[in-house]
Amino acid sequence: MPRDYSDPAPLLRLLAVLVRGDGVSPPAVHQRETFLELARDHRVERIAAWRIVESGGDVEAWFGTEASRVREDERAAAVVDAVRNREIAAVLERVAAVGGARPILLKGAALAHSHYPHPWLRPRLDTDILVSPASTTPVFRILSALGYERTVSTSGTLVVSQASFTRIDDFGIMHALDVHWQIANWQVIARAASHVDLESRSVPVPALGVIARAPSSPDALLLACLHRAAHHRDSGELLWLYDIHLLAERLTAADWTFLLETAGRGEVKTVCRRGLALAIDYFGSPVPLHVMEALADAHNEPSSIYASRDLRLVDGLLSDLRALSWRNRVRLIAEHLFPPPEYIRRKYGLTSRRSLLVFYARRIVSGVPRWFATGG
C-alpha cells in the first residue's frame, strides 16, 4: 500500500532521506507541490535536486512542473556563488592585512567548501567572518574602503557582537558580510569559544585563497549546534541539521573527545546534545553512544534554555543578566532600552530631538510583546 503523505511530517522525513543520498521513491503526484515547498522552506532544495540528478532520477517526478525552474535556479546559483567566492577571497586578504584581525570563516561560507559536493549547494544569505575584538574598527574601515556599507543596526558593548555590511558589484550581485567579534550575541553562548580559541585551531580553506581559514571540525560542529539553537530558537530547519550531520560524519574519536571537553568547559553540553539528537533523528548521524551519554550528564547549565523551542527573548536576557556583574547588568538593560540615537534616527528617518524621544518610548512599549513571545 502506498504511503500516505497528507501529513507534511512524513514528507519531511522523505526529504531528509533524499538529502542524505539514500535511494527512495518520489512522493505521490498530488504531493509534489507540498514537497517542493518543504524543500524550499528548509533551504535544501538545491542539494535535493542534485541528489536526484546524481542518482539518475527525474527531477520532474519529484518537483512536478517546477522542475525546470529548480534546475535554472541551480545554474544561476552556481554562477553567483563563483562570483561571491572571488569576492570573499579578496575581502579576506584585505582584512587579514589588519594587524591582529586573523579572520576566520564561520558557518555556511566555510562548510560549503569543506563538506558539500559543490559550494553552491549550500545556500547562504551572507558570509560570516569572525575577527579579533580589538580589530573591529580598522576592519570596518577596510570594508568601507572596499565599497561596503554598514547596514542600520543597534550597537553596544554587550547587546550585540556583530555588524552587517553590503555591497553591490558591477554585475548587480549583492555581497553581504556579517563581521563577528564573538560567536554569539548571547553572553552565555559567546563564552563557549573565543576568537583566540578558534583561530589557534583553525584549518585552511584552499578554495578561497591562501589566507582563508575556518574552524576545525570539532569547533565547527560545536558552533553549528550553538548557532541553530541560540540564533534560531532551536530551529528544526533541515539545512542546519544537515550541516551538523555532515560534520559529525567526519569526526574522529579524538575529535569527539575534544568536543566533549569544549562543550563541558563552555557549559553548552545540553545545547550540543539537542542539535546532535535532531541530526540523528532526521539523518541517522553517526554519533557515538558514549558521546550522547556524556552530553546528557549536564547540570544547571545557563545555556540549556536554548535547547527549547519555547524560548522567549526575555529568558535569554535573564540568563545573560545572571552571567554578568551588577555593573554590566545595568549596562546591558540600558543598551537594550536605549540604543544609540543615530540608530533610532536612521531606522525611523527622524530629524528632531522631540521625535527621537517619542520613538524611544514607542520602541520600548511595542517591543514588550516580542520579548515575551515564544520561539515555537
Structurally, how many domains does the chain consist of?
2
Using the 3D structure, point to which of 20, 47, 74 is the last residue of a domain.
74
* Residue 355 falls inside a structural domain: yes
Using the 3D structure, point to which of 23, 47, 74 is the last residue of a domain.
74
* pTM as predicted: 0.92
* Residue 1 falls inside a structural domain: no
Long-range CB contacts for residues 274-279, cutoff 8 Å, separation at least 24: 274/225, 274/229, 274/234, 274/307, 275/224, 275/225, 275/228, 275/229, 275/240, 275/241, 275/244, 276/225, 276/244, 276/248, 278/236, 278/241, 278/244, 279/241, 279/242, 279/244, 279/245, 279/248
Rounded CA-CA distance 2/84 in Å is: 44
Using the 3D structure, point to which of 55, 74, 93 is the last residue of a domain.
74
Please tell me the predicted confidence (pLDDT) of residue 5.
39
Q: How far is CA 252 from CA 196, 202, 247, 286, 288, in A?
A: 23, 16, 10, 11, 10
Domain containing 369 equals: 338-376
**Confidence class of residue 262 from pLDDT cuts 50, 70 and 90?**
very high
Rounded CA-CA distance 267/206 in Å is: 33
CB atoms within 10 A of CB 351: 8
> Strand 149-150 to strand 127-130: parallel, antiparallel, or no bridges (unpaired)?
unpaired
Residue-wise pLDDT tens digits, 73-102: 999 999 999 999 999 999 999 999 998 999
CB 116 within 8 Å of CB 122: yes
* Residue 254 falls inside a structural domain: no
**Confidence class of residue 200 from pLDDT cuts 50, 70 and 90?**
very high
* Residue 304 falls inside a structural domain: no
* Residue 157 falls inside a structural domain: no
* Residue 49 falls inside a structural domain: yes
Rounded CA-CA distance 369/114 in Å is: 41
Long-range CB contacts for residues 140-144, cutoff 8 Å, separation at least 24: 140/165, 140/179, 142/94, 142/95, 142/97, 142/98, 143/91, 143/95, 143/177, 143/179
Residue-wise pLDDT tens digits, 299-322: 889 999 998 888 888 888 898 898
* Residue 60 falls inside a structural domain: yes
Per-residue burial over 106-141, b = 16 or more CB atoms within 10 Å of its CB, e = otherwise: bbbbbbbbbbbeebbbbebebbbbbbbeebbebbbe
* Residue 193 falls inside a structural domain: no
Rounded CA-CA distance 220/138 in Å is: 26
- What is the number of residues in the chain? 376
